[in-house]
Structure 1
Amino acid sequence: MDRTTIIKILIVQRLRRRLKRKQRSVYIRPIFLKRDNDGEQQLVMDLRDDPYYHFRMSKENFDTILDLVTPMITHPHNHIRPISPLQRLAITLRYLATGNSQISLAMSFRVSPSSVCGIIRETLEAINRALKSDYLPTPTTSTWINNENQFRSKWNFPHACGSLDGKHIRIKCPSASGSLYYNYKTYFSIVLMALSDADFKFTAVDIGSYGSESDGGILSKSLIGQKISDDTFSLPSPQPLSSTGTPLPYVFLGDDAFPQRHNLLKPYKGNFLQKTDRVFNYRLSRARMTVENSFGIMAARWRIFHSVIEADVDLVKQITLSAVILHNYLMNKKDFNNITPDRFEDGRVQHGNWRDTVQNDNGMIQIPRQGTNNYTQYSAQVRNHFRDYFNSEDGRLSWQDHHVDAGGR
């Protein structure tokens, strides 16, 4: 066999191999070919007018968000058919709304599991970039003044600029993390620390502290805790509560889990408190329910927080930030998705229906006590001045004595 013949045979064999590879190569599986007609995103068209909202929001708000993120999640047409921005947003919101696994979403939307992971990450980043500056801006003095006006008028607590709480968000064990995220309750978590305004929206959040931080370390190592401790939140200057009163600092409202400070009020502790102390505790608890409602409404809407989140830590942080921003956006639009917050009528609390949704969830859990019961004399004096004001003619509510006498808190 001469050299020319050998070369021809080799060329033919190479061409056959190339042809065979082309015949075997299918760029999308048959199930994914049905994406446009059978995928779950087709339900957007059918259900966006449904009052229960498939994506936990109205058609108008869905479309507004879609318009904002489309430039950031549109992919060019090449040899692979791109997944549309509508499909990408539908997948991401469905992930937040249900907490379904990414594999389950992949089958529902006729998209490969690897694509779903990338879609969720990219779309969450786009949501944050599009909405954060308007719906979770860095708070300024004017922000706190506006918050105080709302707490004063809606919750009868002057000088309150926000209510404080923190939650463990349960996550799967991160790879190569050791015990960093392993907390005292024997599960893995990151921490969401948040300040809420009087309308159940988040004013400031800190996401990502290690779940393994000591009981008192979660607040102190968070950015919010550091700003409270250093008094660097740009709160308004102290003012008197009444025309004849002592100038008092503007404050945040905490529960018994937090340390008492001059700018962070907590309840009086004890089983045999004076009535004036119990009146203060009632007024504080009443106003502080705002942050409890903020967390509750967010978790009722975004059910990904009802169980352990199966994602890496960076993605969990993105999920949490997006959930907070979307919560603020939808609360601002009065889009409650049939979720009702707590409300008060003549001192009697009417619980919101979000409590029925989240009462048994185990994905978002209260942080433990932060710090000790030791506090400065000045911080004790500040709390006492608030107590005295709430028991004075200028500051009392008509129903508070009856509520406290009846055993209410």
Structure 2
Amino acid sequence: MDRTTIIKILIVQRLRRRLKRKQRSVYIRPIFLKRDNDGEQQLVMDLRDDPYYHFRYFRMSKENFDTILDLVTPMISHPANHIRPISPLQRLAITLRYLATGNSQISLAMSFRVSPSSVCGIIRETLAAINQALKSDYLPTASTWINNENQFRTKWNFPHACGSLDGKHIRIKCPSASGSLYFNYKTYFSIVLMALSDADFKFTAVDIGSYGSESDGGILAKSHIGRKISNDTFNLPSPQPLSNLYWYYVFLGDDAFPKRHNLLKPYKGNFLQKTDRVFNYRLSRARMTVENSFGIMAARWRIFHSVIEADVDLVKQITLSAVILHNYLMNKKDFNNITPDRFEDGRVQHGNWRDTVQNDNGMIQIPRQGTNNYTQYSAQVRNHFRDYFNSEDGRLSWQDHHVDAGGK
């Protein structure tokens, strides 16, 4: 028997085995067969006729939901080769509910009548699509610094400010085989979101993913934002005159951060001179922008109110999507019942986002960064701002009364 004949016999035997092999049966659990009638998909469709509850459910208006759906549909559509395909609308609805509630993936699977494994894949794919579709338009670049300065000058009475800086720990479950890498000073596991905010409560730069265990000085120093501030590579505008002096453009920080010529922090001490306290008040007042940015985002996306049960890569993707969606919705003025802080004659009127996140916010302030050491030049920059805010050109009519009354 020659080689060719043997090969033919083997091929015939293989074909016979394949024909005899029992065809695999496709089993779908009865609960998933009821998706269209009993699943949350029907509620999603009903909510499209109720603007108030549509916002409460998705944390955005129907119009903005539909705009995002149009943008991501090409990236999350799949060939109709399944007997019960999941539409792009359902995929976006599942993902936004995940962000809006922080419910577990198994809970979403049951309510939408979709298998848990499918929910996991849907969330990852849709978040990536949101990031790709919106990132370039709703995460501004350094070219916006001049506009930022104009807004800080007009709305917050702080000239030459290009952004306010803060960082938050985001609670996560303990990553496998990570030891104490993500275990922070608050004794839970986290990654860090470092962010700059503009004068309108939108994020202009973010750095996501530093280990929660980083030392006090390490979080900012090792972040992309921190390195650009330290190396002065944010391409801020060159110094311009203000009150007969050429002044640097700066970012606004609090006492947690090290002081640099391009990063202002408050004067520290219990017995400060009034001029120093005036500066601290003006700085704190303008820095409320970044506090509001974090607060409004957490009030909208309640996934940040507790431990996020996901791997680190997915948590980073969740955080970036939340930031981008926050900017998109702030740009669209899609607030509904979420209000930021505001000022009336120097008195702060707290936004109602504080009622939502005050007791259960899973985003915790980062610890103090670095030391009190700073160059004499950095001190001069801060003193120039202090002197300006206490001069006739830079004074606010209510600031003395506010500071004398013990305000900060």
Q: Same fold (TM over 0.5)?
A: yes
Deviation (angstroms), 1:29? 1.4
Is the 1:74–1:84 Cα contact (8 Å) retained in structure 2? yes
When the two structures are superposed, what TM-score results if normalisation uses the length of structure 1?
0.92
Match of 2:315 in 1: 316
Using the TM superposition, name which of 126-135 and 37-46 deviates more.
Answer: 37-46
Instruction: Describe the SS at the equivalent of 2:23.
Output: helix
- Give the direction of change, closer, same or farther, for the CA distance of 1:47–1:20 in structure 2 (3 Å limit): farther
Match of 2:22 in 1: 22
Deviation for aligned residue 1:15: 14
Q: In terms of mean alpha carbon deviation, does 44-53 or 214-223 score higher?
A: 44-53
1:94-122 alpha-carbon deviations (Å, 9 max, x no partner): 00000000000000000000000000000
Residues 1:51 and 1:13: Cα distance change in structure 2 (over 3 Å): same
State the distance in 2 between where 1:210 and 1:402 align.
43
Maintained 8 Å contact 2:166/2:196:
yes
Q: Distance in 2 between matches of 1:293 and 1:226?
A: 24
Structure 1 CA distance for aligned equivalents of residues 23 and 321 of structure 2: 43
Given that residues 41 and 91 in structure 1 are in contact (C-alpha distance below 8 angstroms), is that contact kept between their aligned partners in structure 2?
Answer: no
CA deviation after TM superposition for structure 1 residue 361, in Å: 1.5
Higher mean alpha-carbon deviation, 153-162 vs 20-29, is at 20-29
Where 1:164 maps in the other structure, the secondary structure is strand
SS of corresponding position for 1:269: coil
Counterparts of 1:162 and 1:375, CA distance in 2: 21
Q: Distance in 1 between matches of 2:148 and 2:7?
A: 82
Residues of 1 paired with 2:28 and 2:274: CA distance?
71
Alpha-carbon separation, structure 1, partners of 2:291 and 2:131: 23
Mapped contact 1:52–1:338 kept (Cα < 8 A)? no
Does the 8 A contact of 2:169 with 2:212 survive in 1?
Answer: yes
User: Quick one: structure 1 residues 331 and 9, their matched pair in 2 at CA, closer, same or farther if it must change by over 3 Å?
Assistant: same
Change (3 A) 1:263 1:53: farther
Q: Sort the Cα spacing of 1:405 and 1:72 in 2 relative to 1 into closer, same or farther, 3 A.
A: same
Moved more, 296-305 or 35-44: 35-44
Q: How far off its partner does 1:164 sit?
A: 0.3
Question: How far apart are 1:20 and its partner, in Å?
Answer: 12
TM-aligned CA deviation for residue 81 of structure 1: 2.8
User: Do 2:243 and 2:393's aligned partners in 1 also have CA atoms closer than 8 Å?
Assistant: yes
SS in 2 for 1:204: strand
Give the percent of matched residue pairs that are identical in Structure 1 and Structure 2.
Answer: 96
For 2:80, the equivalent position in structure 1 comes to: 77
Give CA-to-partner distance per residue, 1:126-182, whole Å, 9 cap, x none.
Answer: 00000000001xx55531001000000000000000000000000000011121111
CA distance in structure 1 between the partners assigned to 2:163 and 2:340 by the alignment: 17
Q: Is the 8 A contact 2:298 2:361 kept in 1?
A: no
Q: CA deviation at 1:9?
A: 21
Deviates more, 1:27-36 or 1:348-357: 27-36
TM-score (norm 2): 0.92
How far off its partner does 1:217 sit? 0.5
C-alpha deviation, 1:43, in angstroms? 1.7
Distance 1:278-1:105 versus aligned 2 partners, 3 A rule = same
Q: How big is the shift at 1:37?
A: 2.0
Shift of residue 219, structure 1, vs aligned partner: 0.3
| Gap change, CA 1:7 and 1:325, over 3 Å in 2 | closer
Taking a change above 3 Å as real, the CA distance of residues 6 and 276 of structure 1, as seen in their structure-2 partners, is closer
Q: 1:320 to 1:3 in 2, by over 3 A?
A: closer
For residues 90 and 21 of structure 2, what CA distance do their matches in structure 1 show?
31
The 2-side partners of 1:263 and 1:3 are apart by: 80
**Partner of 2:401: helix, strand, or coil?**
helix
Where structure 2 has 5 or more consecutive residues not aligned to the other structure, the ranges are: none
- How many pairs does the alignment contain? 401
Contact residue 275 and residue 386 of structure 2 kept, 8 A: yes
CA gap of 1:53–1:193, structure 2 versus 1, over 3 A, is: farther
